[in-house]
Structure 1
């Protein structure tokens, strides 16, 4: 698909429809995991005032020929975070435009996406960063220097799978444990999906496909947001395509959700939530063996002593912990 604007730059946006070519609704805000997280980087500089030149590319989400004048730049993924190191700044500010010559992102002018929170345009002079949302991808046509507008310009292609993060069909859910169940740690979870393909993240981003995540005492993410990879904070990723898991949970009440995400952990609106009560182990030695090494340390014995003082365990249970401490030391 191509069209000519007044500057003669050809726009070619090849959108790959996958998983049956489903029509895609507008993607919601994409969470940016921070400007320290970048999926792909392009080093670009000026050749005098006659052309841009790409000197290096890193990351599979973008491609461009190096060592040639004004190469075409191809973005291979929406939702990814891109960094451009502009070696020509400040004499050659970088700008991305649409087919009609309107600035989308610009180091000099007011681009229509400069203030978009999902795009999160960051301009540090020598370096710019942005997240390529579906909306921005649909408009991208060229990059140029805002000063040497006729000489320093090249085409932009977006060759990325389109993903509908709010599908009308599809579901994920827990098959065990049941909502409201009382369990002991480690807790075993079994999950299932309907009208959604659970697969390894190594298969790449595909519409209607991805892997599952378990969220413990954390709210589900909005469609298109990146699910954090942070187990200590309650985010568990199963990028190998697993549908079962075991998680150590502290005794008490917990809210646990399963949520589908694509290969880059961007959330679908497919989620299920259950409430669980994790009971302390019936065996007092196991209960106070906090590190699970099979031994009772002096600090763990102290925990048992405080539990006895608080009336949480009996004297006989405290004696069992004490015996285990003696055997361990």
Structure 2
């Protein structure tokens, strides 16, 4: 009877080695599957990001197109309204002339019906007619100044009744700068100017409106191009930096709040310090000089004078009513606004000299 051999040590070790290989190989396959799954997800994320970028680019182009169309519509509406106001004024003048003619015809008919007029009544009639004409002219002049309709005058004398009336004329708003026509046809302007112009175009008095006009002329002289290099950000007001980082006027509620007078005072102080640092030793006692010294301020487009005008707009609006801006409270603000206009005119003049 043969004896069964016990398993050799070598065979036992081989079995143990095979088991270990299986244990190691199994996680490796799972790891490969997990890795492939992660790669698939990464690819899906990249595709989603690409689609999102395309969608954002499309939405941005649509937003600019809508804004441009809105600007054109507002320009046309404003011009039509001004034309309507002008026609109403002309109509009012014609009605006053017609009223005068009616007064003269009424006076003639009254004399013809009486058959005779004594010297005293004739004198009284002439005085009354002259008085009615004088009132008509005075009312016309006063109405032209105030843009309001005149009242009615009824007076009897020598059988003549004078009745002067005219329809009401809506008050004509103060003229703000119109959107420049050449900017509508400029690809450079369409990239940034419509929203900027709409944001800055506020009625803050004649000095500010003059500044807007000079700024438009400056941007036109630079071909509506946004400078790659902007104004110096050193010592720039913190509220301005925050406004720029938060997408400027593209985000609602991004304007600073100066309800507290201390906040406004601090802003004015920081802006004045920044404004003075922007200007090098280019000032003379007589005024301003143009040249290379103005290069630090020769910045157009979204990265340029928009920041300065935005600060002046906030400052002017924080002053409150027109009386406050035109009074002692707005003295410093008016000085800076006029100063900025002089600098812009100097920059425009330097461009003309180069040409």
**What range describes the TM-score normalised by the shorter chain of this pair?**
under 0.3
TM-score (norm 1): 0.21
TM-score (norm 2): 0.20
Higher helix share: 2
Higher strand share: 1
Considering only CA atoms, is the larger Rg found in Structure 1 or Structure 2? 2
